[in-house]
Amino acid sequence: MPPTPATLQPAPPLEPLLLRACRLEPVERPPIWLMRQAGRYLPEYRAVRDKVAFMDLCKTPRLAAEVMIATVHRLGVDAAIIFSDLLPLLEPMGLDLEFAQGEGPVIHNPVRAAADVNRIRELHDIDQVGFVMDVVRATRAGLDASIPVIGFAGAPFTLAGYCIEGGTSKAWLHTKSLMYGHESAWHDLMGKIARAVSRYLVAQIDAGAQVVQVFDSWVGCLSPDDYRRYVLPHSRLAIAEAAKRVPTIHFATGNPALLPLLREAGGSVIGIDWRIDLDVAWAMVGHDRAVQGNLDPVILLSDRDTIRRQAREILAKAGGRPGHIFNLGHGILPHTPVENVLELIETVKHG
Ligand code: CP3
């Protein structure tokens, strides 16, 4: 066969949209994926959960990977996040974790007194959560190269909050009591968690994660000054090693005044919740970083016209600038109709 003339050779395939957006490179359209895209709002997910308890699902890599792969195909999103949770990392550190039916996570032996911090173990052996790396490998192996796999971990503050409260909390009173009242024990605990998160993210990258996201879901309960003093050095340490290897997404909710400090702690992409307009947030973060967000998840419970209008407003605020990843401002809520999620994705992909 004669060689194909150079002019007819196919162009090299472009890198996935998400990876280009993370690096602020131009894209044909913003990539979209959704936090909690595989969750209870999806009938297919509920069918799996009817047969398997949540933690067993997380610890069965073939099944966990299948759940996310099926979700990516069902929704047509531009990225997969591994199916797992923030909290299994805490088990080998000595916390007794349970996902009680209908209650969310419970830790039966929370850290309450300063002395309790001594019983929290340093996570030296990442193989203790090796099942998560198996989920990364199985998810990567099961998807087309155009769909990047995102690994993730909780940020030190959010994980410390669960360790101390023993579950989700509104005001994080025990957490703040330890933080303000026993500063050295607080920094000990945060240091142990930050080193564990750092090793965990690097292990996920070694297993094939192409981006990692750090969730500081509850840190918005702090003021900027307190974030700087009690949290920032630990979040910076948690992210730094991963950031040498792949793009990182640093996400928090609840307090837009923290945005410049999140940037300082690290993240090629800063996650934005819905409490601030995207253009204002991006200006605060700086246009030399990418941003991800920021539709209020509650909007997905309204009608199609509202969803389309709100999605277009966010796209307009991003203004076609490279470096916008479309997402919600927080995870999809359990009662969200699937067709509304599809409507959103269609709007972002095709206008
Ligand atoms: O689809 C995905 O986004 C991937 C998987 C994923 C889950 N949890 C699965 C899950 C991810 C990325 C998480 C992260 C997570 N876990 C966060 C950060 C994101 C956020 O919402 O801020 C937090 C705070 C947790 C802790 C957690 N896990 C809580 C508070 C709960 C109970 C409340 C709830 O939303 O169900 C969970 C359980 C959980 N994690 C479920 C899923 C699909 C539901 C469990 C079930 O099937 O009953």
Query: In the prediction, which pLDDT does 103 show?
Result: 83
Atom from ligand 1 closest to the CA of residue 104:
32
Q: Does the active-site annotation cover 40? A: yes
Atom from ligand 1 closest to the CA of residue 253:
22
Per-residue pLDDT of the chain (351 residues), as tens digits, is: 555 555 667 777 789 999 999 999 999 999 999 999 999 999 999 999 999 999 999 999 999 999 999 999 999 999 999 999 999 999 999 999 999 888 889 999 999 999 999 999 999 999 999 999 999 999 999 999 999 999 999 999 999 999 999 999 999 999 999 999 999 999 999 999 999 999 999 999 999 999 999 999 999 999 999 999 999 999 999 999 999 999 999 999 999 999 999 999 999 999 999 999 999 999 999 999 999 999 999 999 999 999 999 999 999 999 999 999 999 999 999 999 999 999 999 999 998
Query: In the prediction, which pLDDT does 206 show?
Result: 98
- 263 near 228, Cβ under 8 Å? no
What residue owns the CA closest to ligand 1's atom 5? Answer: 83
| Centre of ligand 1 from the C-alpha of residue 103, in Å | 12
Query: In the prediction, which pLDDT does 13 show?
Result: 75
DSSP letter, residue 158? H
Query: In the prediction, which pLDDT does 1 show?
Result: 53
Q: Does the active-site annotation cover 162? A: yes
Tell me the residue ranges of DSSP E strands in the chain. Answer: 80-81, 97-100, 104-107, 149-154, 211-216, 248-252, 269-271, 290-295, 324-328
What residue owns the CA closest to ligand 1's atom 14? Answer: 85
User: Which pair of structure tokens corresponds to residue 263?
Assistant: 């940037």
Which residue in 40, 74, 245, 289 is the catalytic one? Answer: 40
Atom from ligand 1 closest to the CA of residue 45:
47
| Centre of ligand 1 from the C-alpha of residue 54, in Å | 10
- Give the chain's domains with CATH numbers: 15-350 (3.20.20.210)
* Alpha-carbon span 281 to 270, nearest angstrom: 9
Amino acid in the structure at residue 307: I
Here the contacts of 7-10 (C-beta below 8 Å, separation 24 or greater) are none
141's CB contacts (< 8 A; 6+ apart) are 65
Pairing of strands 149-154, 104-107: unpaired
- Give the residues surrounding ligand 1 with Cβ less than 6 Å away: 35-40, 49, 54, 81, 83-87, 104-105, 152, 168, 215, 217, 330-331
Tokens 């769909």: give the residue. Answer: 147
Atom from ligand 1 closest to the CA of residue 167:
30
What residue owns the CA closest to ligand 1's atom 48? Answer: 54
User: Which pair of structure tokens corresponds to residue 49?
Assistant: 């959960």
| Centre of ligand 1 from the C-alpha of residue 181, in Å | 30
Query: In the prediction, which pLDDT does 6 show?
Result: 56
Query: In the prediction, which pLDDT does 10 show?
Result: 76
Cα 137 to its chain centre, rounded Å, is: 18
Q: Does the active-site annotation cover 85? A: yes
Mutate which of 86, 99, 159, 172 for ligand 1? The one with the most ligand atoms within 8 Å of its CB, which is 86
